[in-house]
Amino acid sequence: MAPDRTSAASLLALAEEAWAGGDGNAAIDLFGRAADAAEVEHDLPGRIAAVLGLARGQQYNLSPGLLPVRLHAAYYAVDEPEPRARLAAALARCWSYANEPRRAQPFALEALHLADQQDDPLLLADALDAALASHWGPDDLAVRREWAVRLADAAAHLPDRDARLQAELWSLTVAWEVLDLPRMHRSMRAIELMADESPRAEFFAASRRLPIELLRQHIDVAPLLVARADAAAEAVVIPDAYGVLHSMRGYTAFFTGDVEGCAAEAPSFEEYAVEFGVTTVRAEAAMIWLGAGRLEKVAEMVGAFTPDVLAGLPRDSDWLLVLQCVLEGALAIRDTEVTGAVVALLAPYAGRSVVNAGAVMWHGVTDDTLARAHALLGDTEASARHRAAALATYERIGATWWRDRLRAQLPDDAPTSTDVVSVHLHQQPGGLWLIGREGATFVLPRMRGLGHLHAILSRPDTDLPAVSLVGDVVVEQPALEVLDDESRRVLRARLAELDDELALSDRADLRAERDAVASYLAQGTGLGGRARTTGSHAERARVAVRKAIVAALARIAETDPWLGRHLRDRVRTGFECRYESDPDHPVRWILDAVPVGGFDA
């Protein structure tokens, strides 16, 4: 008897066969028919498998159509933790790819909560991927770093190649966001090793290798990478392959100064943006038209971004990218209104690396565009400050194209700086800390010691009790003396006896006993011979603050040895903590984020 090719099970099998064969359109059609058939057959597992299959085909930045409706109907119908977690994760990705992070986040957090309760690393990896996708905005970088590490750990030993690939892609993306070059190269190498196993990994290896090679100015390999990605996309279903390949060609032309290449690609960007209403691609179209030398088209693309539109942009994965591209276009056509509106939004994110969704292309650092924007708006001090910061970053990572362009567009005609060193140490939106000397800043994740340093530096040359720094971290309890009076008396008497005996006979056993008694006595005696206590509220605070500050100084010194050494020399910890300023080598501490429209110490 012939199998029923209209049953949900048969349609699912055919859909998976089409997907594996690289026929995405046929697979999506079959997944949709399988979902309908499963609903008629009251086959809930089949229905769940079908709608999850449909979710695989969603394209980034486009309207999801009825996909969230179908996912939610299945999600609403199931109570078991495992399928509910998978559907919640799919819903989170669905809304994230549709630029709706506010809708996505509750589903992502539920998926993560459910996955944490199961002993299933693959389920956890799926939930973490959804959590990352839905928390991809400019203020989520700190938690994104934490989740990317968790995902890498969860997926490291999984046989599922796609889960491992997704973990490495997230690791690569976050590395670009914080310009962690060693991690970037490690993740890229891991992706390329997987490329030997599947065309899907080959597509990501080629496309994600391109921005790294453009950063290095290895221009000759760009066409080869585009060809590799194109060939891989022919063999496997990559829903966003069309957009990625156009980005690869367009930005290769842009960074190589290929005016004709930009002119050939720019219409595709514009047509796609207009047809589907994709804000991100419209902003990028302004960049590619700029590479083509068509300023009238740049003005047309930028003209849609009025101050109201800019203020209403969703703070999703492409928020920084859109602002960076729009500002590039506005600067090219010298549109001061749009420039001023973007600067007001971008100013709190100085020092950030701008990478588009999935690390397909790198767009420099925000200090670069902010420097040129402030120059256009007439704020020479702010322009010089951001220029120095951008150039320092570009020098550090070897971004010669970006460095040379900024120097050419903004020559160094600023007045000579004073001997006062300006140093940042403050939080940024999203919880990260901006640290370092002006022009050489870097970011660190939340650390308790950074908060303690911030409080101490806010009141230089002033003693701050350690208990005031830790707040409610330690438990109130009375002090306990390490040695009581009687013990100290006995130990001191024995020490005197040993000194007398050693004066007569310098024996090794007497010297060893004397050293042990002296050490034990010293542990119980503080400054001025006072009794040392332990276990008190103040003592626990002293220890907690010191440990936290030492850890923070170690992280600072890894990137800026001068700053780490300065703080170690000038910060005193104990029951009272203090930063002692150096009048001979003054430091101007910047302890608050730069406010919009100005700069305050």
- Minimal CA–CA distance to 368: which of 302, 324, 314, 312? 324
524 pLDDT band, cuts 50/70/90, is: low
The per-type count for the chain, helices as H runs and strands as E runs, is 28, 11
Q: Which of 256-283 are b and which e, b meaning 16 or more Cβ less than 10 Å from the residue's Cβ? A: bebeebbbebbebbbebbeeeebbbbbb
Residue 466 and residue 65: Cα distance in Å, rounded? 57
For residue 472, pLDDT beyond 60: no
For residue 576, pLDDT beyond 70: yes
- Minimal CA–CA distance to 363: which of 454, 297, 280, 277? 280
Residue type, 171: S
Residue type, 293: G
Residue type, 226: V
For residue 517, pLDDT beyond 90: no
Mean pLDDT of 419-423: 78
Mean pLDDT of 9-21: 93
Residue 329 and residue 299: Cα distance in Å, rounded? 7
3-state secondary structure of 191: helix
Q: Where does residue 378 rank: exposed (0-12), middle (13-18), buried (19+ CB within 10 A)?
A: exposed
The per-residue pLDDT for range 228-277, each reduced to its tens digit, is 999 999 999 999 999 999 999 999 999 999 999 999 999 999 999 999 98
Please provide the average confidence, as pLDDT, over all residues in the chain. Answer: 88
Residue 94 and residue 51: Cα distance in Å, rounded? 12
Q: Which of 326-349 are b and which e, b meaning 16 or more Cβ less than 10 Å from the residue's Cβ? A: bbbbbbbbebeebbebbbebbbbb
The per-residue pLDDT for range 314-356, each reduced to its tens digit, is 988 899 999 999 999 999 999 999 999 999 999 999 989 999 8
What pLDDT does 541 receive? 86
Mean pLDDT of 574-593: 86
For residue 490, pLDDT beyond 80: no
Q: What percentage of the chain carries pLDDT values higher than 90? A: 64
Is residue 449 within 8 A of residue 549, CB to CB? The reply is: yes
Task: Give the pair of three-digit tokens for residue 42.
Answer: 């009251």
Q: Which residue has the higher pLDDT, 484 or 392?
A: 392
Phi, psi of 447 (to 5 degrees): -145, 135
Angstrom distances, CA of residue 83 to CA of 59, 80, 87, 131, 514: 23, 6, 6, 17, 70
The backbone region for 600, taken as left when phi is positive above 0, alpha when psi lies in -120 to 50, beta otherwise, is beta
Phi, psi of 444 (to 5 degrees): -130, 150
144 pLDDT band, cuts 50/70/90, is: very high
Q: Which residue has the higher pLDDT, 349 or 489?
A: 349
The per-residue pLDDT for range 53-88, each reduced to its tens digit, is 999 999 988 899 999 999 999 999 999 999 999 999
Q: Which of 517-528 are b and which e, b meaning 16 or more Cβ less than 10 Å from the residue's Cβ? A: beeebeebbeee
